[in-house]
Amino acid sequence: MPFSRFNSNLTKPENLDKFLVAFLPDLFEMIDDFRTKPLDPIKASTLTMEAWYPYYEKPLSATILDMFKISGMAELVANAFQSDDPEEYIKQQKSPPIPHLSKIPTTISPKIIPSLIAIAKTFDSILYNKAPLHNLIAQIRLNGDFDGSITRKILSVDRTAIHCSVIQKKIQQAELVKNTKFLNNIANAMYISKNPKECYRYPKLLFAVFLLLDLQQYQIMSEEERYNLLCNYYPKDLSPRSFHQECNRIKNSLTTQKR
């Protein structure tokens, strides 16, 4: 199948959502590994990979789409969308595991690491800053960041983001006008410190709701569909009603942060 046809299929929100329904548990497993198990320094020094900070200029859904392309899953996903049941088709292909997406970091392809790190860092930004990195960068571009407070939030999640063009421009401007408050915020963000307080009680539920919102699928799905998809990321001893209330609290919190 021509790649262009796959690309046009997958970029449709309803198709990407169908894939994520089956892929979400794997995505969370990979994110957990990258957030909790840093690469061995010797192994990391031997890897050849692209920078991941350019992904912070894109919506999260675009980064996930790039990861699918790079991982060599184009044919799998394209075939799934032509089947009668895309979700079931994908599940059947996962034994043996989908190429490049099994144990991390021992067998994962270096080509996929930058997009995966960007997704994991976006997860951190939502958890600590109540906003994804691309939203924070957009705020700097549209409204400025004279005191460097927004830039500090970004760099506290990933210091490599200092290479983003919009941040580079702000640093240059601060140097020209001797904006010491901005420069001090940048300097402080570069120090290693403990992670800030998490803003949400259920991190995986938070990220799943964000993905559905980012794909403009949250409102389309029924409460039953959302519960079936996301209930594993909520305590089993709590009621479905409290689950839906928590989802709506997360949704309201995330949508207000987009302003």
pTM of the model: 0.77
Alpha-carbon distance of 218 to 244, in angstroms, equals 12
Per-residue model confidence as pLDDT tens digits over 194-235 = 666 777 889 889 988 888 888 777 888 889 988 988 898 999
* Mean pLDDT of the region 166-177: 94
**Tokens 């928590």 belong to which residue?**
246
Alpha-carbon distance of 212 to 20, in angstroms, equals 9
How much is the pLDDT for 5?
33
Q: Is there a contact between 129 and 189 (Cβ–Cβ < 8 Å)?
A: no
User: Is 90 exceeded by the pLDDT of residue 76?
Assistant: no
How much is the pLDDT for 110?
75
User: Is 90 exceeded by the pLDDT of residue 182?
Assistant: yes
Q: 8: alpha, beta or left, given left = phi > 0 and alpha = psi -120 to 50?
A: alpha
3-state secondary structure of 166: helix
Alpha-carbon distance of 250 to 229, in angstroms, equals 16
How much is the pLDDT for 113?
83
Average model confidence (pLDDT) for the chain?
Answer: 78
User: Is 90 exceeded by the pLDDT of residue 147?
Assistant: yes
What's the DSSP call for residue 232? G
- Name the more confident of 124 and 23: 124
pLDDT-derived band at 179 (thresholds 50, 70, 90) equals: very high
**Which residues in 82-152 belong to E strands, given as ranges?**
none
How much is the pLDDT for 42?
58
How much is the pLDDT for 225?
87
- Name the more confident of 164 and 21: 164
The residue length of the chain stands at 259
How much is the pLDDT for 8?
42
Q: Is there a contact between 186 and 171 (Cβ–Cβ < 8 Å)?
A: yes
Most confident of 34-43, 79-88, 93-102, 197-206: 197-206
Per-residue model confidence as pLDDT tens digits over 35-71 = 777 666 656 666 677 889 999 998 887 888 788 777 7
- Name the more confident of 188 and 42: 188
Per-residue model confidence as pLDDT tens digits over 230-247 = 898 999 999 999 999 999
Q: Is there a contact between 20 and 86 (Cβ–Cβ < 8 Å)?
A: no
For residue 115, what are its two tokens? 């997009």
